[in-house]
Amino acid sequence: MKKQHIIIAAALFSFFIITFLMTDVRKSAESENKIKYPTVFVHGYKGTVNSFGNMLDRYEHKYGWGNKAIVYHVSSSGHLNVRNLSKGKNEPAFVQVIFENNRASIADTSKWLAKVLAHMKRVYRIDSVNLVGHSMGGLVSMKYVQAYQDTAEYPRVHKLVTIGSPFDGIYSKEYFQINRDPATVDLKPDSGALKLLQANKEAIPDSLQVLSIGSTGDIVALPESVHAIRKIVSEDQLTEKIIENKSLGHSGLHESATVDILVYSFLGS
């Protein structure tokens, strides 16, 4: 009988431990602060609605962290097609931006992003936002931060997250044999666009906090290139996370639960 009691007690203890360790991410997030500002998600080179679509679906429906409130489709001429999905919800708002010309230069894409944010300021009276950019979307977002600081026209950027963003360019020569367009000109190491981001580092507001995420499995934006953000953002404003996972590739970053948590925790802190 005593042996049976010990076995039952051990089983109950094991069940308790497993239940504790396997608690849903959503439950663990309840103790964290909610994201205070609307968060704008900016895809990268050749990105589509799917680039951040699954992440935003997880945020809204799996974790309960907020709602996908607005989708902006930006034409090649800069025309905005706006879909307001919020329906009066009060949860943290996520905004997805989709560029029709997803192979444009960093300068042109940041200009279109500025048009989106100016619309948010003018129509929805949004004064502060967070930006989350994947790959070239992180470079575009950094360009916006540097170049569009008139708070009478544009929202202030509270926090910036860059995911797999190659601030020192893409090192693979084969990549540029396959891809040839204005965006890839900017993505080459030592390109004028990348040098300009570094040259304008003094334009980064002192109040901006930045999270840079990379992966050891990313063969497009190698960790060394991701780390080059240090040439732009000062140490006291920068948090860096390189995920040690050889199977986590460039496009997999916005499909990763680890990245989900890193982004949400940073924006909600």
Q: pLDDT of 180-234, one tens digit each?
A: 899 999 999 999 999 999 999 999 999 999 999 999 999 999 999 999 999 999 9
Domain that holds residue 103: 33-268
Please report the pLDDT score of residue 12 as a whole number.
46
* Rounded distance between C-alpha atoms, residue 97 and residue 72, angstroms: 5
* CATH code for the domain in which residue 125 is found: 3.40.50.1820
pLDDT in tens, 4-22: 544 444 444 444 443 343 3
Classify residue 15: in a domain, yes or no: no
User: What is the gyration radius of the CA atoms in the chain, in angstroms?
Assistant: 20
Task: Classify residue 5: in a domain, yes or no.
Answer: no
Show the CA angle centred on residue 85, arms to residues 80 and 89, nearest 5°: 135
Three-state secondary structure of 69-87: EEEEEECCCCCEEEEECCC
C-alpha to C-alpha distance for 158 and 267, rounded to whole angstroms: 9
147 located within any domain:
yes
**Residue 190 DSSP SS3:** coil
For the record, the structure tokens of 102 come out as 């997803």
Alpha helices in 94-189 (DSSP H): 106-124, 136-147, 173-178, 182-186
Amino acid sitting at position 152: A
In a domain, 17, yes or no: no
**Which DSSP category does 167 fall into?**
T
For the chain, how long is the longest CA-to-CA vector?
Answer: 79
Is 4 domain-assigned? Answer: no
The confidence score (pLDDT) of residue 22 equals: 35
Q: How confident is the model over 164-186, as pLDDT tens digits?
A: 999 999 999 999 988 889 999 99
Dihedral (CA of 10, 14, 16, 17) sign: positive
21-63: pLDDT as tens digits: 334 444 444 445 688 999 999 999 999 999 999 999 999 999 9
What is the value of pTM for the model shown? 0.88
Residue 12 placed within a domain = no
pLDDT at 88 over 80: no
> Is residue 75 one of the residues assigned to a domain?
yes
Mean pLDDT of the chain: 90
Parallel, antiparallel, or unpaired: how do β-strands 67-74 and 80-84 relate? antiparallel
Number of domains in the chain: 1
Query: Does 3 fall in a domain?
Result: no
Q: Which 3 state secondary structure label does DSSP give 241? A: strand
Q: Is the confidence at residue 3, as pLDDT, over 70?
A: no
